[in-house]
Amino acid sequence: MVRGTRHFAKIMALAATFSSECFSASAPRSIEVLGHRGARASRPENTLSAFRFAIDQGVDVLELDVQLSKDGHLIVAHDRLVPVALCRSMEGKDLSASVAFTDLTLVEIKNLDCGSQRHQDFPNQATAQKSQVPTLEEVFDLVTSNHSHDAQRIKLQIEAKIVPRYTRDTSAPTVIANAIMAAAKKYKLTNRIVIQSFDHRVISVVKKIQPTIKTAALLSADFPDWVNVIKSVNADILSPHIDWVTKEAVAAVHKYGAKVMPYTANNEADWSHLIDCGVDGIITDDPKSLITFLRSQGLRQGA
């Protein structure tokens, strides 16, 4: 009788293992949601308000842009020049002319209100009065000081903004890569960041500093051999424009062992196309709606 009981127990254990393996095989694949500039369909881009909103919606990754101020601080801003359509002075005065962020000190940048004016492309965007341009360290503070599950698991995909044509208004790849790495090490976030850039020299520098740091090679509107691009800079992720994504290209990247996370998809038609192509993540201005869509497709847990 004891022998029979042990035999039965072995059978049940094997059945449990088989059941678990079948469940894993049939479980929906995971598609990461990356909040582009936080969540600029809903909040002013690259502001703490946008990042808080994205965290509250349950994004997997905060995508943001960094560049250096005149006095060497990493600030979170996309455009090379201060966007006069989106920013004004803290006193409420319109800005008369564009100036490069790299020509302003942090104190001068902090006197900009870049949350009071709604972006013309996002009519549902809620403004955030008196929103300063944050530093990268302030974004790190936001993530590390928030002890919710979503904030503690979230990753940050940080784009080093470099425009080689404008050497006066842009940072050298080595300088900005070292600055980002130093900030991430200070906050003990090196295991939760991805450093990306259209200037692939940044990626090469990062890999020399610390080979384990995840990197993403951004591609503009062209269609080179994606695998060769990844090989050339040892990137972990390729982020192409959505219009250049095909099943075949994604499959080739996966075969090499890297991931594909395109930008910037904001509607169901684009999301469906990217899902069908097998991408690993989607960069979107509207993470709230994308998460709802993925759930409706059985590709994300939750209500």
| Domain range annotation of the chain | 30-81+133-296
For the cut 50, the answer to whether the pLDDT of residue 4 exceeds it is no
What is the Cα–Cα distance from 271 to 275, expressed in whole angstroms?
6
How many CB atoms sit inside 10 A of residue 152's CB? 11
Residue 187: band (very low, low, confident or very high) from pLDDT cuts 50, 70, 90: very high
Question: pLDDT tens digits, residue range 44-58?
Answer: 999 999 999 999 999
Please report the pLDDT score of residue 24 as a whole number. Answer: 33
Q: How far is CA 267 from the centre of its chain?
A: 18
Decide: helix, strand or coil at residue 296: helix
For the cut 90, the answer to whether the pLDDT of residue 11 exceeds it is no
Please report the pLDDT score of residue 220 as a whole number. Answer: 87
Q: Which CATH architecture is the domain 30-81+133-296 placed in?
A: Alpha-Beta Barrel (3.20)
For the cut 80, the answer to whether the pLDDT of residue 79 exceeds it is yes
Nearest one of 163, 166, 160 to 203, comparing CA atoms? 160
Residue 200 CB contacts under 8 Å (≥ 6 apart), including other chains: 217, 229, 232, 233, 235
The whole-number average pLDDT for the span 30-53 is 97
3-state secondary structure 232-267: HHCCCEEECEHHHCCHHHHHHHHHHCCEECCECCCC
Phi, psi at residue 42, to the nearest 5°?
-115, -30
Two tokens, residue 293: 């869509």
What is the Cα–Cα distance from 130 to 125, expressed in whole angstroms?
15
Please report the pLDDT score of residue 28 as a whole number. Answer: 53
Nearest one of 22, 57, 21, 23 to 287, comparing CA atoms? 57
Decide: helix, strand or coil at residue 163: coil
For the cut 60, the answer to whether the pLDDT of residue 23 exceeds it is no
Q: What is the dihedral of CA 195, 196, 199, 204, to 10 degrees?
A: 40
What is the Cα–Cα distance from 202 to 200, expressed in whole angstroms?
5
Sequence-separated contacts (24+) of 142-147 with Cβ below 8 Å? 142/48, 142/51, 142/52, 142/55, 143/51, 143/55, 143/62, 143/189, 144/187, 144/189, 146/55
Where is 88: in which H helix or E strand? Answer: strand 88-89
Please report the pLDDT score of residue 16 as a whole number. Answer: 39
Residue 222: band (very low, low, confident or very high) from pLDDT cuts 50, 70, 90: confident
Decide: helix, strand or coil at residue 201: helix
Question: pLDDT tens digits, residue range 135-170?
Answer: 999 999 999 998 888 888 999 999 999 988 887 777
Nearest one of 143, 120, 121, 114 to 51, comparing CA atoms? 143
Please report the pLDDT score of residue 89 as a whole number. Answer: 96
For the cut 80, the answer to whether the pLDDT of residue 202 exceeds it is yes
Nearest one of 300, 301, 285 to 54, comparing CA atoms? 285
Please report the pLDDT score of residue 128 as a whole number. Answer: 95
The whole-number average pLDDT for the span 289-297 is 97
Please report the pLDDT score of residue 151 as a whole number. Answer: 84
What is the Cα–Cα distance from 202 to 217, expressed in whole angstroms?
9
